[in-house]
Amino acid sequence: MRVLVGALLGLVLVRGDLLSQAPVVRQPPPAVGAQAPKDPEDVQTPPAVATQTQTGGKANGSAGTPEGGFPTIRVETRLVNVALNVVDTKGSPVGGLEREDFQILEDGKLQKIAVFEKEATTPLSIVLAIDASESVMTSERLEKEAAKHFVRALLREQDELDLMEFSDVVRELVPFTNQPKRIESGLNAIQHGDATALYDAIYLASDRLAGTSAANGRRRVIVLITDGGDTVKGARYTQALEEAQRAGAMVYSIIIVPIYADAGRNTGGEHALIQLAEDTGGKYYYVVDPKDLEPAFAHVSDDLRTQYLLGYYAPRRGADSSFRQIKVRMTDAELKAKYDLRYRTGYYADAR
């Protein structure tokens, strides 16, 4: 059966009953080629883009005069949730810490921690984006089996997962669902391609996550399986990073390295994925042997299950679209020296 699927700039011909339902995701804003960051400024100060605002836990800002005659000033606030991983010097997760063990700052100013969970049980919205280029899909059976085991191990009733593939274009194979069988069917329908639209995939996965409900402290996650290359003229690295930060998405990269010491290896792409993980509070893993994919997925699952959740109310500053820096630190100097903290570095004030 042949159907026409709307593509980025035209029509893409796709075969198969399942793939006939897999739309090519809309194209990101045009840019002059995709590129990894060339200097720290590209990463630390992303450009601002106007988007629709959606806030959680806010009070409508207004000033009025009650019956007593005294004006009441209401300050509009938003609840900012920060998923936090604490590890020791060996990289093992550290549990048992309390609210008073942490301090959280926004733009250098101390904030009151209003929400605290020791082991975050909040719902997860996950986009699993798989690089379907020939350079990555070398052991297809092992890769698909590892992804299936990851989905079955991680997905709970309150969670949801969206499955995407990317090569020449980005396709959403399965929209958000918590049914493992639907996701497995999507994994079986992955098609290979020649190119790699990596930054388009990150941008569009973030866009999908931004549309999910932020209720109940929902955590948003992107899991990428890729070799780090980007060979399509689409979204640039800075656009992909900004969209991920606007969505509040943690990016976990499983980086496939078929030949570890290969001189032609795309180390620039790898470094971009590493920086993306660090800026969004995610993590990265290297996989040389396809058999190591399953342990890498297990690490991602464990990482998400051992997170703390911290939340604070940040005051609104009028029509503000700035990037606000977040810093979390240990209260005790001794603990500060013992443990490493991983969390997102900030958020956009006007983000959805």
What confidence tens digit (pLDDT) does each residue in 210-260 have?
999 888 889 999 999 998 888 888 789 999 999 999 999 999 999 987 545
> Which residue intervals of the chain bear CATH 2.60.40?
74-120+307-348
Bridge partners (DSSP) listed for residue 252: 223, 283
Q: Interior CA angle at 308 toward 147 and 206, to 5°?
A: 50
Tell me: pLDDT of 173 over 50: yes
- Comparing 194 with 32, which gets the higher pLDDT? 194
Domain covering 74-120+307-348, topology: Immunoglobulin-like (2.60.40)
Tell me: pLDDT of 8 over 70: no
Bridge partners (DSSP) listed for residue 225: 130, 254
Q: Interior CA angle at 112 toward 109 and 115, to 5°?
A: 135
Tell me: pLDDT of 265 over 60: no
> Is the domain defined by 26-35+121-305 classed in CATH 3.10.129.10?
no
> Which residue intervals of the chain bear CATH 3.40.50.410?
26-35+121-305
Please state whether the predicted TM-score (pTM) of the whole model is above 0.85. no
pLDDT tens per residue across span 266-305: 567 889 999 999 999 999 999 888 788 899 999 999 999 9
Q: Which long-range contacts (CB under 8 A, 24 or more apart) does 57-66 make?
A: 57/313, 58/316, 61/316
If you search the block for the tokens 């299936």, which residue do you land on?
A: 148
pLDDT at 352: 59
- Comparing 36 with 176, which gets the higher pLDDT? 176
Tell me: pLDDT of 41 over 70: no
